[in-house]
Amino acid sequence: MSEKLFTVSSSPHIKSKDSVNTIMRDVVIALMPALIAGVIYLGIGALVVTIACVVSCVVFEYLFQKITKRPITIKDLSAVVTGILLAYNLPPTAPIWICVIGSAVSIIVVKCFFGGIGQNIVNPALLGRAFLLSAYPGHMTEWTLNGVSTATPLAIAKYGGGSMPSIADAFLGNVGGCVGEISALALLIGFAYLLYRKVITFHIPVAYIGTTLILTLILGFIGRDSFTVNQAIIEMFSGGLMIGAIFMATDYTTSPMTKKGQVIFGVCCGILTTVIRIFGGYAEGVSYSILIMNLFVPIIDKYVKPRAFGEVK
């Protein structure tokens, strides 16, 4: 008679119907409005880039796990989410080979080399984008709108050379930019869905976006010429702020565990983003801000701990 060994842990024993697959499925659903807006305003290239990144991420994860004889986990949809987020941080004109290289860095280097899902120390899609921006800046800064070359609102605010779009255009997505970042409305719809499904909480997105808006209003009059309140609102809706705050800063693995820690994380991301945007040499600061703060998450978790159940002062 064979003996079965069971792992016994101390109480409390908490069960949940949620799994990696169901959470990732909800994230994919929440990301779909942004893809629809990207295709409407940026053209079919937005869809091509997204498909290329998703397929590449899934294939790279499968091949790595197959070669290293690890369990195949592509059914949990985490590679699909990474592929979508990577694509949403690329211009719609990005060549297929750019998508493949970015996917390889995101999946193999950032995710698989560190042990797979739940082990990576920074957001895979963001580091993949940061690598591509450093290695191929020409391909990563080609912006189009309805097939016509254009500048992003952040680039106009930073370097001039055009007129800022209206608040309505920036909110709806009728501006130049990356595939999934242009429509604040579509991203907020996804945010509402994730809140309804209780996949994420509001703490990081609200702290991040709120801090960026407030600091932009304060520092914009110092670091920008002819700065207005409307410009601050447009900058809030533009660039990667919305998608970064809602979908990437809230990544379970690379964000703090406590609500207080999440607020601290969001505020610090907002401070870094605003400083980079206004005083740095680069028009966008979301990617680097989140990546930097990902490295501080262990410190935040160490010093911001929840009160033990039953503890008395």
Q: Kindly state whether residue 209 falls inside one of the protein's structural domains.
A: yes
Residue 309 domain flag: no
Tell me if 189 is assigned to some domain: yes
Classify residue 10: in a domain, yes or no: no
Q: Quote the domain boundaries for residue 143.
A: 20-303
75 part of a folded domain: yes
pLDDT tens track for 121-168 = 999 999 999 999 999 998 888 877 766 777 788 888 877 777 888 999
For residue 127, what is the domain's CATH number? 1.10.3430
- The predicted-structure confidence for 193-217, as pLDDT tens digits, reads as follows 999 999 999 999 999 999 999 999 9
pLDDT at 274: 94
Mean pLDDT of 231-238: 90
pTM for the full predicted model: 0.90
CA atoms lying within 13 Å on the CB side of residue 39 = 11
How many of the other CB atoms lie within 10 Å of CB of 217? 18
Q: With respect to residue 312, please indicate whether it lies within any of the assigned structural domains.
A: no
Query: Do residues 178 and 240 touch, judged by C-beta distance below 8 A?
Result: yes
Say what the pLDDT of residue 1 is: 47
| Residues 34-49 pLDDT 10s | 999 999 999 999 999 9
In a domain, 7, yes or no: no
pLDDT of 279-295, one tens digit each? 887 888 899 999 999 99
pLDDT at 115 over 50: yes
Can you tell me which residue has the tokens 């800063």? 249
Number of domains the chain contains: 1
220 pLDDT band, cuts 50/70/90, is confident
Residue 11 lies in a domain: no
In the prediction, which pLDDT does 6 show?
A: 58
List, in order, residues 6 or more apart from 268 with CB less than 8 Å away: 293, 296
| Count of other CB atoms within 10 angstroms of residue 177 | 29
CA gap 167, 162 in Å, rounded: 15
Range in 11-15, 21-25, 111-115 with the lowest mean pLDDT: 11-15
Name the amino acid, one letter, at 244.
G
